[in-house]
Amino acid sequence: MASGSEGATGPVAAYLAEHAAGYNKRPVGAKTANRFLKKIRVEATGEQMLGRKEAKYHYDLTDVSPDVFDWRAWISGRLHGNSVVVGPGISKVILAFFNEYDHNCKQARLDYLIVRTDGHVHRVHPSSSGEDHLLQFTSQGWRQVNKSQSAGEEHVLVDTTHGRPTLGQAVANFERTAFDQNFEPKCHKNGMLDLPMKTPGDSGAPGPAVVGAWRSPEPELEVVVPPPPLPPPQLE
């Protein structure tokens, strides 16, 4: 697999260089990121609901203490395609629940949501054995960043190679009934559930829930400007 830092220049290279020392001092890999994800999932899981476990809140770890989880060292040292993820810079990192049924956990899918300063958004789910698929949100929905051997092809987006039922579809399967759109929970355009956001306390540990859900930034779309109208014909 090509290293995520190959071909990185400008702000990306600066970011990676800035946090490389943190990674060398305290390596943070997929296993550490996976353990932190599991910890927050346990804390954010509520009662048993119809066909799934309740997801109570998202967790904004942007300002979490490195002693709790050093996400900068994780991205700079381990994440596949980190030059794509970093871009001009990172403004937020959130552990977010999505309207996708995770069969292993019997609840909504929990992923790291990484927001760039230019509004582009990525998702990744590290496992104990390595990084899962890296997804980018586009006008066509979530698409997968191609894991190519060529660093120059790291920005190529392909259709996702996995699919999960929505929470509404999971409820319909649980009830053994026809799917009804009313089964679906309220969520944002990017599939993130409409839940309160929890932020870290002063110590870096999870703090109190904050009322109101985070709003997803829109991806940059290509704007097609129509040509100006032709002038009226000149009369002789």
How far apart (Å, rounded) are the C-alpha atoms in residues 33 and 75? 10
Separation CA 13–CA 156 (nearest Å)? 20
Task: Give 192-217 pLDDT, tens digit per residue.
Answer: 999 999 988 765 667 777 766 566 66
Q: Token pair of 198, please?
A: 């929890």
pLDDT score of 187 more than 80: yes
% of the chain surpassing 70 pLDDT: 75
How many beta carbons lie within 10 A of that of residue 140, not counting itself? 9
8 Å CB contact between 195 and 108:
no
Token output for 38: 């599991």
Residue (of 121, 113, 160, 153) closest to 138 by Cα position:
121
pLDDT higher than 70, residue 234: no
Residues 220, 87 contacting (CB under 8 angstroms): no
The mean predicted confidence, pLDDT, of the chain is 78
CA–CA separation, 122 and 20 (whole Å): 21
Mean per-residue pLDDT for 181-202? 84
Cα gap 48→103, rounded to integer Å: 15
Burial class (CB in 10 A: 0-12, 13-18, 19+), 207: middle
- Tens-place pLDDT, residues 75-90: 888 767 788 888 888 9
**Domain definitions of the chain by residue range:** 10-210
Q: Which residue has the higher pLDDT, 42 or 214?
A: 42
Residue 146 identity (one-letter amino acid) = N
- Write phi, then psi, for 104 (nearest 5 degrees): -70, -35
> Residue 189 gets which letter from DSSP?
T
Closest to 72 in 3D by CA, of 58, 83, 62: 62
Predicted pLDDT at 59: 94
Interatomic CA distance for residues 169 and 184, integer angstroms: 8
pLDDT at residue 236, rounded to an integer: 58
Average pLDDT over residues 116-137: 87
| Whole-structure pTM value | 0.79
